[in-house]
Structure 1
């Protein structure tokens, strides 16, 4: 379930939403690290800055989901998306997966807006990634048999470890991680009320 055996071409064809998200993240990262586009200009335009959001720049509730300054940050979030996203994109469908991903990131960023001070700045896809974990946990709680045993043995420890590590890593938006997880869990419960989800 979480083991990728597809070729690069097969992955692009089977999971176009995930492929597009990673491409957008990579494009923004490259733009930030080329002389053509000044690094600070891209960051200042797209980063989530609470004060600017309060002043009406509401796009900053969404754009931080796709922005990564460090390559390690980009690589980790993209790798997590490649591992844990495909099963959900396949089970939910492209449109629902897009809504899940953006809504989880949005939930994380709205919580960050209200909990953190005005000058707090945040970037990264972690809230949206944690939203994926939240959906898996919702399925585990409601109908665990919908997830194969091997998948259950992987996702629950990973989700727990990820939450615990959130509190021990420096410069982490703890609020974003936790509320991304909560947003995904709520979305998962809503989806399960209207439809069955099977992996």
Structure 2
């Protein structure tokens, strides 16, 4: 080309002048055969950012980094749970649904399942040979869980489900789903294990009240930690305690007694408060460790109560 001959202009579509390859989306005059693996735009060597596979353009890299940074900076609650963006009461609703389904089964469709799922135990009961139920050993310990979903009547389940709906969503949003579920189950397990420890040889109790009282204890700890007025939770606690003793009974399996055991309420209340202290007051730098130890300690206490309760049985 003659020195005074004007140069050929770069095509307006961003393609390079010589080989027909596309031009870099940031430097159209630079031809390149490499495209961003994320968005597909052509990138020159200066704009190539190595990725796990191929290269990415700076815009995609910066956008990904920004999204990751926003995820890291997503607000957390005082217990370390990510702030709920959607429904913060999913576990609460699932628990209520399971309780209602089991209630319909055991009350109306197959009443015999009350005995199969309830907290049944005997060691030397009249007309019942040997040991049975929880007293029989680990193969029957499933009852500590299943009994939490069996209820003795409409008033019983209505009271428990109302309390769960009042207490559950707030705790679930603060603790997160897994911590909340662990707290609920541990409280119910501890309540049933404490009832077994004290009564042991001849009992038949049912209900989610131990778990509900655990939520009451946890709510009291939450209110204390956040300096929230505690009058509402105290009022709910008093109502539940009154109903506990008004409807109390621990007759043997198959009796007509309404079997709601205050011992399960006390055990659940203490466990819920203790686990909540570990969750809400855990230091931030060791939060997961302390919270894990609180849950593990609760499981150990439940196992200890079961072993001691069984060892105290006659025969």
Same fold by TM-score greater than 0.5: yes
Determine the structure 2 residue equivalent to 1:96.
179
Larger radius of gyration: 2
Deviations 1:13-68 (A, max 9, x none): 43111111111111111122444xx311x112100112311212010111111111
Report the TM-score when normalising by structure 2. Answer: 0.52
Determine the structure 2 residue equivalent to 1:127.
210
2 CA distance for matches of 1:179 and 1:14?
27
Runs of at least 5 residues in structure 1 that lack an aligned partner in the other structure: 1-11
Alignment of 1:1-199 (within 5 A): 13-35=87-109, 38-40=110-112, 42-51=113-122, 52-56=133-137, 57-141=140-224, 143-145=225-227, 147=228, 149=229, 152-171=230-249, 172-194=260-282
Runs of at least 5 residues in structure 2 that lack an aligned partner in the other structure: 1-85, 123-132, 250-259, 285-315
Q: CA deviation at 1:140?
A: 4.0
Higher helix share: 1
Count of matched residue positions in the alignment of Structure 1 and Structure 2:
177
8 Å CA contact 1:163, 1:178 repeated in 2: no
8 Å CA contact 1:102, 1:128 repeated in 2: yes
8 Å CA contact 2:183, 2:214 repeated in 1: yes
Go from structure 1 to structure 2 and tell me whether the alpha carbon gap of 1:111 and 1:32 turns closer, same or farther (over 3 Å shift). Answer: same
Q: CA deviation at 1:105?
A: 0.4
Query: Relative CO higher for 1 or 2, CA cutoff 8 Å, sep ≥ 6?
Result: 1
For the aligned residue pairs, the C-alpha RMSD in angstroms reads 2.1
Report the TM-score when normalising by structure 1. Answer: 0.80
2 CA distance for matches of 1:140 and 1:16?
22
